[in-house]
Structure formats: structure tokens, C-alpha cells
Amino acid sequence: MKISPSILAADLTDLKNTLQTLESRVDFLHMDIMDGHFVPTLSFGEVYVKLLKDHTNIPLDVHLMVDQPEKEVPKYYDFSPFNITFHYEATNFPVRLAREIRKKNIKAGISLNPKTPVEFIEPFLEELDLVLIMSVEPGFYGQAFIPFSIEKIKKLKDMILQKDLDVLIEVDGGINQENISLVKEAGADIVVAGSFIFKGNIEENIQKLKQF
Ligand code: DX5
Ligand code: ZN
């Protein structure tokens, strides 16, 4: 299973060292873009992502927690991220947006809040490369994992297998040493971890997650 640390939870005053530590140890860098509308918090945007991109070779995993993502998505094309993920709840045009992202040779991801059933994306699953299951309500790092997320991951995995599609499952929120094996068994391909990785010794914490 691949690991994507949420940079939002990192010590921003020590970012250069943090990036060096992460460079050979993780698969992606998870960027939480929050607009203060779709979620109550305002985090960072394309200027900060550019800064990070200039200092690392780790593929970027862009998670847009913004209203009207169709306006924001194009700002991230130039950074050639691995994926751009927008929220199902934030747009009326998910298929058009996913197609636009794919046209740029970037993987198109959609994210589902805890309240949103995975069945809602079944009709257009083949238009997507990645589904991000939120295992906390979006907006903050450091929240506790919501247990019913496991059922959603399992259902989604079954759907993908049944349709014989190549769609990655990513899980975001409250991941730690205790729940990562459940998430993996349920079918996740990528896990995001913020506070678990950045509280204490980063190298040791990554190792702890990797043993599963
Ligand atoms: C929540 C963000 C998450 C969060 C993860 O709104 O999308 O990526 O930063 O942090 P932890 O692992 O601490 O829940
Ligand atoms: Zn996130």
C-alpha cells in the first residue's frame, strides 16, 4: 500500500528538512487545498504548491476541498501532479471535470465525504482514475477515524472489481497504526496520514505504517 503524507500537518518552519526526510520514504505528497467555504478552514493554494514542487521530486497528490472546483483545477495543471482530486459534493459537473483533468495526462480523482454513499459515483466510475474516501469530515487534520468508512471502502472495491476497472482507492483522515491494516484489507491502495506521521519522529512513524 502506498503512503501519502498530508503536508498540512507538517512543521511549516522546517519544511526543507521535512521534504528531505520524506523524499526516499513515501510515494506521494498530499496537498490539502481548503477554501474556507466548502470547508470552514483556509489552508494554502497554488503558490505554496509551486514552492513545494520546486523543492521535491515526490509526486504530488492534490486534494481540492473547494467549492466550484472547475475554477480551481486548471491552476494545478502546470505542476504535473500525479492526480487532482475534487469533491463530489462541490460540483454539478463531475464527468466534464474528470475528462478535462485526464486530457492533461493527470489522474482524475473524486472525493466522497463521510455522508456520501459510494453508490452515487457508480454510474460514472469508468470516467475516474482514483476515488478518495474521506474517513473524517474534511477541514482539519488530527480527527478520529470514522469506523463506517471501512464498509464504504469494501463496497467500492467490489464495484471496481465487478466492472473490471483500473481505479485506485485512497483513504484520508485519522489513519494510524491501529486502523491501517483494516483499511488495507478493505481494499485501499493509498493512505493519507497527517498527524500520525508528523507528530514525533517522522522516519519512525513512516516505518510503523509501512509494516502493514
Ligand atoms: C482533512 C484532510 C486530511 C488531513 C489528514 O480535511 O483532507 O488530508 O490533513 O490528517 P490526519 O491524518 O491527521 O487526519
Ligand atoms: Zn486530504
Sheet holding 190-193, edge to edge: 2-5, 190-193, 168-172, 130-134, 107-112, 83-87, 60-65, 29-34
Residues recognised as catalytic: 32, 172
Specify which residues 3 forms β-bridges with. 191
User: Could you tell which of 172, 178, 208 is best to mutate to test the pocket of ligand 1, judged by most ligand atoms within 8 Å of the CB?
Assistant: 172
Residue spans per domain, the chain? 2-210
Q: Closest Cα to residue 134, out of 99, 175, 168, 184?
A: 175
* Long-range contacts, 74-82 (Cβ 8 Å, 24+): 74/100, 75/45, 75/46, 76/46, 76/49, 77/104, 77/106, 78/50, 79/46, 79/49, 79/50, 79/53, 80/105, 80/106, 81/31, 81/106, 82/28, 82/106, 82/107
Gap between the Cα atoms of 67 and 56, Å rounded? 28
Gap between the Cα atoms of 75 and 86, Å rounded? 13
Ligand closest in space to the Cα of 140: 1
User: Could you tell which of 34, 135, 141 is best to mutate to test the pocket of ligand 1, judged by most ligand atoms within 8 Å of the CB?
Assistant: 141
Gap between the Cα atoms of 4 and 63, Å rounded? 11
Distance (Å) from CA 141 to ligand 1 centroid: 4
User: Could you tell which of 183, 192, 209 is best to mutate to test the pocket of ligand 1, judged by most ligand atoms within 8 Å of the CB?
Assistant: 192
Instruction: Print pLDDT tens along the chain (212 aa).
Output: 999 999 999 998 999 999 999 999 999 999 999 999 999 999 999 999 999 999 999 999 999 999 999 999 999 999 999 999 999 999 999 999 999 999 999 999 999 999 999 999 999 999 999 999 999 999 999 999 999 999 999 999 999 999 999 999 999 999 999 999 999 999 999 999 999 999 999 999 999 999 98
pLDDT at 11: 95
Gap between the Cα atoms of 122 and 126, Å rounded? 8
Q: From 1.10.3720.10, 3.30.420.40, 3.40.50.2300, 3.20.20.70, which CATH number describes the 2-210 domain?
A: 3.20.20.70
List all residues whose CB is within 6 A of at least one atom of ligand 1: 6, 8-9, 30, 32, 63, 136, 138-143, 172-175, 192-196
pLDDT at 212: 85
Ligand closest in space to the Cα of 41: 1
Using alpha carbons, list the distances in angstroms from residue 123 to 25, 92, 117, 120, 126. Answer: 36, 14, 13, 7, 8
Distance (Å) from CA 181 to ligand 1 centroid: 18
pLDDT at 41: 96
Ligand closest in space to the Cα of 40: 1
Distance (Å) from CA 6 to ligand 2 centroid: 7
pLDDT at 130: 99
Distance (Å) from CA 198 to ligand 2 centroid: 15
